[in-house]
């Protein structure tokens, strides 16, 4: 293709995309002159270039569009949705023409008379509305006459001059005229005169300097004419406004010269080369590591840095703001809103977040699809919204940000949410899932069904969505680039999708693991943590009917053994060391006895027989004890967590993902292969594929936790208690949620400082607290410790042994006045002392709580109390304390959660609320509660870490009855007492 033409196409397409966005903005801010000026300029440039390249059809459409814009700019036509629609239509038409131009390299035949006529009619008609009728009647026909005259004029000199220089100057001339065009059109004679002038100028000898001259000439003339006709200074003003953007335009132009258009292929190639360079560098560094002293060390270090920088540099060239992928969305949403008769607000946050071009391209379509879905299916009709007590205008929020080497994109709407009932019905209708299966599924799981193929919730297929290519395609596309998608939805409140994708596809960080002497790479993106499981640590792999599971932080983690999954079982009849040293044929040899078709095991069984004597590790691996000492890679795929059992874990390595050979593409467990630093090839495992092969579809309890947390509410909830023994044999218990970790510390590491035992733990000094005063620690051996963490403070409680974790209702039957104990409860059918973690916290840090624990066991007499606090730590701390004082405590983690309880019809005698909370803070919460909710009369007590006079004042203004320091528990109990007494007195 002609360079000039391809340049034109790229540039014009960019301008069109910009126009799309800006027009939609204009519709929202009709008075933004600067924006309008810019739009006009863009349209004008398109027209000008079309004329310059001799594309009359395009030019005429652009010209007609520009006409309307000109009138808008001059304030003759108001910015109405109709006007914008019409202009958008002309842009679409230009786009269509461009597409054909790109395909055929020639302007398509035909005319756009209809569109042009409508644009012209609008320009005239719209003008009539703004101008006085008398004036308009004269102007309209005159203008009509002027236009063809102008067009003729433009063409004639072009032919006459015949040379490029002539045409260029003509273009500029045209631009100059354009500046004076508004008034010109008002006065038909002026326009005609100008047209003549133009013809003369251009055909005579079109030197560029003449252009401004001509403009200058025509300007006063044009200005003079409308002045008497229209007293308003509008045109003059409009012109002044336009002058500024024009100047801006020049400045931008010079900036644009600083950048260079580079073909994407060039960049792609560059990236590939750099990837190879990175690999080679890794290889060199690996060699270097194995040599204690080498003269290559220094230059290699230098090379290392240069390559890293080069890699970053090349990556940077490929980075583009995600806003580029969003550019079309305002237009799409606007059109949708019109088509569906909804009011939709599209909020885009973090548009400047950068990500790799390749990734950007791949997520563009899924994103568009999802935004459409949100607007179409998610948001309700305005009437329904009003009925549901929501604002008429629905909001779709796009939010992008970086988080730990990934890009997170959230798409949320405040629409009707996903209806489980509808999904269920649809599933049964479509036969996707059986009714019986649905019965056993959780809400979460049901919602995930929308990611299945052949599912679309829209009752009727609209022109925008619901064609059955739905979320499954979105999911597949996102997974293809190693991303994950999660969904949360509350019926009646909206839906939120969270997409997590890697920054770049070319180079990823991967964890190298080993299983059955083979190494594999697992993309770091999906690895959450590593757990070492052996009989000697707290993590032991247990089996339910041969299915391995792991208890991890009070949850069961489903496990898959990579060995079984990859059928590696016994195939490796050699020790790892040998296998590595063995050349090529090792694997081939193993299957030597087997005919080609026979499964690998047949061959394998024979091999260990020969090797049995020496391969004791092998023998061990055969039995269930194989998990004696293994690693569990905890992977997160969407909402689903799963553990992958591997033999060994090496370090992480930057790898360049290469596609596997076509023969192997249908093995879904691999996403590619790569060459490691030592030059060997490893397969890259695809966690999505692994999850799929274990029969999971990203569905699982993963999110139930969050759901459960949110409504720690409901009374009599069972609480997980950690049961342990400290000094004597009486079992002691503490709510598990309070305990951050269970650790075993080496007593040799314990130091004595400032009157207490301390140990260095995760880069901090952690005080160790003994249950009994005067107790002494042994000087060596290992000691189990319960680690409590709040904010950045850590404390270890020394215990004798950890007995069990029991899930039970926390029912304290005997309250205790022993310091450090809350009371006695029956846990696991045994009388157990429930310890007061708060007491020990103050022992570790005297300022952890301001006051010593008092003995304020005033009876709360079964009063219901709502505790709103975002910190699970304090919720868990206060709940038992308040419970033991006789209150029935319900917790909520946020103001929103509290309102949900309000809506659910819960009633309380008193509300305690934290002040510093994410989202709605305590003051706002109190205001809202006291002003318009069922709970308006419920007394509220504020709870905060800070108390000073102004806070107190603010709290009272917001509607709090009292204000208590979070750490002052006596005060809290007293205040509650007082508040309730007041209430009783008042009643």
Partner 1 sequence: MSNGEQNSAETEQGAEDGAFAETEDFVTFVIADQLFGIPVLKVQDVLSAHNITRIPLAPPEIAGSLNLRGRIVTAMDVRLRLGLPSRRESVSMSIVAEHDGELYSLMVDSVGEVLALDGSAFERNPPTLDPKIRDYSVGIYRLDDKLLVVLDVNRLLDYERVQAA
Figure out which of the listed residues 133, 228, 404, 595 binds partner 1, where binding follows CB under 8 A: 595
User: Which positions ≥6 away from 579 have C-beta within 8 Å?
Assistant: 517, 572, 586
Residues 688-717, mask of contacts with partner 1 (x by CB under 8 A): ------------------------------
User: Which positions ≥6 away from 796 have C-beta within 8 Å?
Assistant: 743, 745, 759, 761, 766, 767, 768, 769, 785, 786, 787, 788
504: its two tokens? 């770049």
- Closest approach of partner 1 to the CB of residue 118, in Å: 51
Q: How far apart are CA 605 and CA 619, in angstroms?
A: 12
Q: How far apart are CA 75 and CA 127, in angstroms?
A: 9
Q: For the range 365-368, what are the long-range contacts, defined as Cβ-Cβ under 8 Å and sequence gap of 24 or more?
A: 365/477, 366/473, 366/474, 366/477, 366/478, 366/499, 367/325, 367/326, 367/329, 367/398, 367/409, 367/411, 368/328, 368/329, 368/332
Check binding of 597 to partner 1 (CB under 8 A): yes
Using CB under 8 A, count the residues that bind partner 1. Answer: 40
Q: Burial, 174: exposed, middle or buried (Cβ in 10 Å; 0-12, 13-18, 19+)?
A: buried
Beta pairing, strands 518-523 & 681-685: parallel
Q: Which is nearer to partner 1, 129 or 667 (CB)?
A: 667
Q: Which is nearer to partner 1, 679 or 854 (CB)?
A: 679
Check binding of 910 to partner 1 (CB under 8 A): no
Figure out which of the listed residues 260, 584, 986, 987 binds partner 1, where binding follows CB under 8 A: 584
Angle between helices 164-179 and 188-205 (to 10 degrees): 160
Check binding of 664 to partner 1 (CB under 8 A): yes
- Closest approach of partner 1 to the CB of residue 9, in Å: 29
Q: What is the DSSP string of 45-67?
A: HHHHHHHHHT-HHHHHHHHHHHH
Gap between the terminal Cα atoms of the chain: 87
Check binding of 589 to partner 1 (CB under 8 A): yes
Figure out which of the listed residues 661, 949, 986, 987 binds partner 1, where binding follows CB under 8 A: 661
Q: Which is nearer to partner 1, 435 or 666 (CB)?
A: 666
Beta pairing, strands 640-646 & 629-637: antiparallel
Q: In the range 272-301, which residues lie near partner 1 by CB under 8 A? A: 276, 279-280
Figure out which of the listed residues 170, 474, 550, 568 binds partner 1, where binding follows CB under 8 A: 568
Stretch that binds partner 1, among 85-93, 619-627, 668-676, 838-846 (CB under 8 A): 668-676
Figure out which of the listed residues 253, 389, 583, 695 binds partner 1, where binding follows CB under 8 A: 583
Say if CB 744 and CB 784 are below 8 A apart.
yes
- Closest approach of partner 1 to the CB of residue 629, in Å: 22
Residues 754-793, mask of contacts with partner 1 (x by CB under 8 A): ----------------------------------------
Q: In the range 512-531, which residues lie near partner 1 by CB under 8 A? A: 518-519
- Closest approach of partner 1 to the CB of residue 619, in Å: 21
Q: How far apart are CA 514 and CA 518, in angstroms?
A: 5
Stretch that binds partner 1, among 109-117, 335-343, 390-398, 578-586 (CB under 8 A): 578-586
Check binding of 585 to partner 1 (CB under 8 A): yes
Figure out which of the listed residues 1, 387, 612, 681 binds partner 1, where binding follows CB under 8 A: 681
DSSP 8-class letter at 377: I
- Closest approach of partner 1 to the CB of residue 583, in Å: 4
Q: How far apart are CA 226 and CA 218, in angstroms?
A: 13
- Mapping DSSP to helix (H, G, I), strand (E, B) and coil, where does residue 453 land? coil
Figure out which of the listed residues 134, 255, 298, 663 binds partner 1, where binding follows CB under 8 A: 663
User: Which positions ≥6 away from 231 have C-beta within 8 Å?
Assistant: none
Q: How far apart are CA 192 and CA 153, in angstroms?
A: 10
DSSP 8-class letter at 74: T
Q: In the range 797-856, which residues lie near partner 1 by CB under 8 A? A: none
Check binding of 577 to partner 1 (CB under 8 A): no
Figure out which of the listed residues 256, 316, 588, 987 binds partner 1, where binding follows CB under 8 A: 588
769: its two tokens? 């607290």
Q: Which is nearer to partner 1, 583 or 623 (CB)?
A: 583
Q: Which is nearer to partner 1, 277 or 340 (CB)?
A: 277
How many CB atoms lie under 10 A from the CB of residue 423? 22
Stretch that binds partner 1, among 434-442, 594-602, 852-860, 891-899 (CB under 8 A): 594-602
Q: In the range 930-959, which residues lie near partner 1 by CB under 8 A? A: none
Figure out which of the listed residues 382, 587, 872, 886 binds partner 1, where binding follows CB under 8 A: 587
Q: Which is nearer to partner 1, 161 or 515 (CB)?
A: 515
- Closest approach of partner 1 to the CB of residue 677, in Å: 11
Check binding of 238 to partner 1 (CB under 8 A): no
Stretch that binds partner 1, among 224-232, 477-485, 660-668, 949-957 (CB under 8 A): 660-668
CA 692 to chain CA centroid, nearest Å = 23
Figure out which of the listed residues 389, 662, 763, 918 binds partner 1, where binding follows CB under 8 A: 662
Q: For the range 427-431, what are the long-range contacts, defined as Cβ-Cβ under 8 Å and sequence gap of 24 or more?
A: 427/455, 430/454, 430/455
Q: Which is nearer to partner 1, 572 or 882 (CB)?
A: 572
Scanning 392-470, the segments in alpha helix (DSSP H) are: 420-430, 435-440, 443-448
- Closest approach of partner 1 to the CB of residue 868, in Å: 53
20: its two tokens? 């799309």
Residues 600-619, mask of contacts with partner 1 (x by CB under 8 A): x-------------------
Q: How far apart are CA 719 and CA 834, in angstroms?
A: 12
- Closest approach of partner 1 to the CB of residue 919, in Å: 48
Residues 548-567, mask of contacts with partner 1 (x by CB under 8 A): ------------------xx
Task: Match 């996903």 to its residue by tokens.
Answer: 418
Figure out which of the listed residues 683, 733, 958, 980 binds partner 1, where binding follows CB under 8 A: 683
Q: Which is nearer to partner 1, 599 or 624 (CB)?
A: 599
Q: Which is nearer to partner 1, 659 or 854 (CB)?
A: 659
269: its two tokens? 């190639």
Q: Which is nearer to partner 1, 594 or 720 (CB)?
A: 594
Q: What is the 3-state secondary structure (H, E, C) of 748-777?
A: HHCEEECCEEEEEECCEEEEEEECCCCCCC
861: its two tokens? 């007499």
Stretch that binds partner 1, among 70-78, 111-119, 227-235, 671-679 (CB under 8 A): 671-679
910: its two tokens? 């008193």
314: its two tokens? 């090349």
Say if CB 795 and CB 734 are below 8 A apart.
no
DSSP 8-class letter at 343: -
The residues of the shown chain that bind partner 1, judged by CB under 8 A, are 276, 279-280, 518-519, 566-568, 583-589, 591-592, 594-598, 600, 658, 660-664, 667, 669-670, 673-675, 679-683
């Amino acid at each position: 293709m002609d360079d000039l033409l391809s340049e034109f196409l790229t540039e014009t397409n960019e301008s069109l995309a910009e126009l799309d966005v800006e027009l939609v903005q204009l519709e929202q801010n009709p008075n933004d002159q600067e924006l309008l000026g810019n739009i006009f300029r863009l349209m004008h440039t398109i027209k000008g270039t079309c004329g310059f390249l001799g594309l009359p059809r395009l030019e005429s459409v652009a010209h007609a569009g520009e006409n309307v814009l000109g009138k808008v700019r001059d304030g003759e036509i108001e910015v109405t949705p109709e006007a914008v629609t019409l202009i958008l239509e002309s842009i679409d038409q230009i786009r269509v023409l461009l597409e054909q131009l790109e395909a055929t390299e020639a302007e398509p035949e035909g005319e756009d008379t209809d569109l042009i006529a409508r644009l012209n009619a609008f320009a005239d008609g719209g003008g009539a509305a703004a101008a006085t009728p008398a004036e308009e009647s004269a102007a309209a026909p005159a203008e009509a006459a002027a236009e063809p005259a102008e067009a003729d004029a433009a063409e004639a000199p072009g032919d006459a001059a015949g040379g490029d220089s002539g045409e260029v100057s003509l273009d500029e001339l045209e631009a100059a005229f354009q500046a004076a065009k508004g008034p010109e059109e008002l006065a038909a004679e002026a326009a005609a005169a100008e047209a003549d002038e133009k013809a003369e100028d251009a055909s005579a000898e079109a030197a560029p300097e003449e252009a401004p001259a001509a403009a200058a000439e025509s300007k006063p003339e044009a200005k003079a004419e409308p002045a008497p006709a229209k007293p308003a200074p509008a045109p003059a003003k409009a012109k002044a406004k336009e002058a500024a953007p024009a100047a801006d335009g020049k400045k931008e132009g010079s900036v644009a010269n600083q950048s260079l258009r580079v073909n994407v292929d060039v960049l792609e190639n560059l990236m590939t080369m750099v990837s190879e360079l990175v690999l080679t560098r890794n290889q060199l560094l690996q060699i270097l590591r194995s040599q204690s002293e080498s003269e290559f060390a220094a230059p290699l270090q230098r090379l290392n840095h240069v390559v890293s920088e080069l890699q970053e540099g090349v990556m940077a060239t490929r980075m583009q703001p995600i806003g580029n992928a969003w550019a079309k969305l305002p237009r799409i949403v606007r059109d949708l809103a019109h088509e569906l008769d909804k009011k939709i607000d599209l909020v885009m946050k973090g548009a400047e977040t950068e990500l790799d071009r390749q990734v950007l391209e791949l997520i563009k379509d899924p994103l568009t699809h999802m935004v459409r879905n949100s607007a179409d299916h998610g948001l309700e009709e305005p009437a329904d919204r009003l009925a549901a007590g929501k604002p008429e205008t629905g909001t779709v929020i796009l939010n992008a940000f970086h988080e730990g080497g990934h890009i997170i994109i959230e798409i949320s709407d405040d629409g009707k949410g996903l209806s489980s009932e509808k999904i269920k019905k649809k599933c049964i209708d479509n036969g996707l899932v059986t009714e019986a299966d649905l019965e056993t599924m959780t809400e979460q799981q049901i919602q995930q069904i929308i990611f299945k193929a052949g599912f679309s919730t829209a009752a009727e297929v609209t022109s925008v969505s619901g064609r059955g290519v739905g979320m499954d395609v979105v999911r597949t596309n996102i997974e293809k680039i190693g991303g994950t998608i999660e969904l949360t939805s509350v019926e009646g409140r909206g839906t939120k999708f969270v997409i997590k994708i890697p920054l770049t596809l070319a180079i990823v960080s991967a964890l190298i693991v080993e299983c059955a002497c083979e190494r594999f790479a697992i993309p770091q993106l999906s690895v959450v943590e590593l757990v070492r499981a052996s009989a000697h640590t707290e993590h032991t792999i247990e089996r339910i009917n041969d299915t391995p599971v792991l208890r991890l932080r009070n949850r069961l983690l489903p496990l898959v053994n990579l060995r079984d999954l990859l059928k590696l079982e016994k195939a490796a009849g050699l020790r790892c060391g040998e296998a590595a040293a063995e050349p090529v044929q090792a694997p081939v040899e193993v299957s030597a006895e087997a005919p080609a078709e026979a499964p690998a095991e047949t061959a394998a069984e024979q091999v260990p027989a020969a090797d049995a004597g020496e391969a004791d590790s092998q023998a061990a691996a055969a039995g269930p004890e194989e998990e004696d000492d293994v690693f569990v890679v905890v992977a997160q795929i969407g909402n689903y967590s799963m553990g992958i059992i591997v033999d060994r874990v090496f370090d992480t390595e930057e790898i360049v993902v290469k596609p596997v050979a076509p023969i192997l593409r249908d093995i879904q467990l691999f996403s590619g292969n790569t060459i490691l630093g030592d030059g060997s090839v490893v397969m890259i495992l695809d966690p999505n594929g692994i999850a799929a092969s274990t029969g999971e579809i990203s569905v699982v309890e993963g999110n139930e936790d969050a759901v459960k947390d949110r409504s720690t509410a409901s009374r009599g909830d069972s609480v997980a208690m950690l049961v342990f023994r400290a000094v004597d044999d009486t079992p002691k218990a503490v709510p598990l949620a309070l305990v951050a970790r269970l650790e075993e510390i080496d007593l040799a590491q314990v130091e004595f400082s400032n009157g207490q035992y301390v140990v260095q733990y995760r880069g901090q000094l952690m005080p160790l607290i003994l249950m009994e005063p005067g107790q002494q620690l042994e000087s060596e051996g290992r000691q189990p410790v319960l680690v409590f963490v709040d904010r950045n403070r850590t404390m270890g409680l020394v215990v004798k042994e950890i007995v069990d974790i029991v899930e039970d209702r926390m029912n304290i039957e005997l309250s205790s006045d022993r310091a450090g104990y809350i009371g006695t409860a029956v846990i696991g059918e045994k009388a157990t002392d429930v310890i007061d973690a708060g007491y020990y916290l103050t022992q570790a840090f005297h300022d952890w709580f301001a006051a010593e624990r008092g003995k304020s066991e005033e009876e709360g007499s079964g009063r219901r109390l709502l505790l709103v606090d975002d910190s699970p730590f304090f919720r868990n701390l206060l709940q038992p304390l308040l419970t033991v004082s006789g209150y029935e405590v319900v917790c909520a983690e946020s103001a929103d959660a509290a309102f949900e309880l309000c809506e659910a019809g819960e009633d309380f005698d008193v509300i305690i609320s934290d002040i510093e909370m994410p989202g709605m803070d305590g003051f706002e919460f109190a205001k809202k509660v006291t002003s318009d909710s069922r709970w308006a009369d419920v007394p509220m007590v504020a709870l905060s870490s800070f108390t000073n006079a102004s806070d107190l004042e603010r709290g009272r203004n917001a509607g709090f009855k009292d204000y208590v320091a979070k750490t002052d528990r006596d005060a809290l109990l007293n205040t509650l007492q007082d508040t309730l007494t007041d209430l009783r007195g008042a009643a």
